[in-house]
Amino acid sequence: MLRKCVFFDRDGIVNRSPGLGYVTCLEDFEVLPEFIAALRNVKSHGYLAIVVSNQRGVALGKMTIETVDRIHRFLRETLATAGLALDAIYYCPHDNGECDCRKPSPGMLLRAAAEFGIDLSASWMIGDSLRDVVAGKRAGCRTVLVGDETGEVIPDYRLGSVAELPGFLSAHLD
């Protein structure tokens, strides 16, 4: 039987947004308590929880793969102290046009779907960028945009901030 999943963008959803830059060291990685609450809702509904993150800063030489992996170990440890776990973290270290995994391409979601047996049409993509929304739509997921970015693509739902995520998920996950 296929599983349902909530896909989370990382920067701006899991951790405080670095703005236009990148999280290049552990000291700049601050997990948002609202995300922890959201993750708790997702897991209590029996959904998979998977992070899909563009980390182009690797391709640009701003940080190494080792740094990204260290940050993700820290994230897993932080969640574990809250009794929680992500099912997977996928990230794209590539530059624009180098791969099929950098959002807005849906590659990371499709790979997760194949590896975990996910029903994408019953799954959600949550991010703070229209790139996340496009990737989610291309994968066939329902989409939630957090924040005020606007453009041609229209998310299924829009939230003002990550603080609204736990309540939204309680209301919408079945």
Residues that bind Mg ion (CB under 5 A): 9, 11-12, 128-129
Cβ closest to Zn ion, residue 52 vs residue 141: 52
For the CB of residue 65, give the shortest distance to Zn ion in the complex, in Å. 12
- Using CB atoms within 10 Å of the CB of residue 104, give its burial: 0 to 12 exposed, 13 to 18 middle, 19+ buried: middle
Q: Name the segment binding Zn ion (CB under 5 A); options: 31-39, 93-101, 144-152, 157-165.
A: 93-101
What residues contact 136, with CB distance under 8 A and at least 6 apart?
7, 106, 109, 124, 125, 127, 142, 143
* 87 counts as catalytic: no
Q: Looking at the DSSP assignment, which residues form a beta bridge with residue 31?
A: 15
Query: In whole angstroms, how close is the CB of 105 to Zn ion at the nearest point?
Result: 8
Per CB under 5 A, the list member of 38, 92, 145, 165 interacting with Zn ion is 92
Q: Which of 4, 10, 72, 102 binds Zn ion (CB under 5 A)?
A: 102
Active site (annotated) includes residue 11: yes
What is the amino acid identity at position 39? L
Closest CA relative to residue 121, chosen from 102, 111, 136: 136
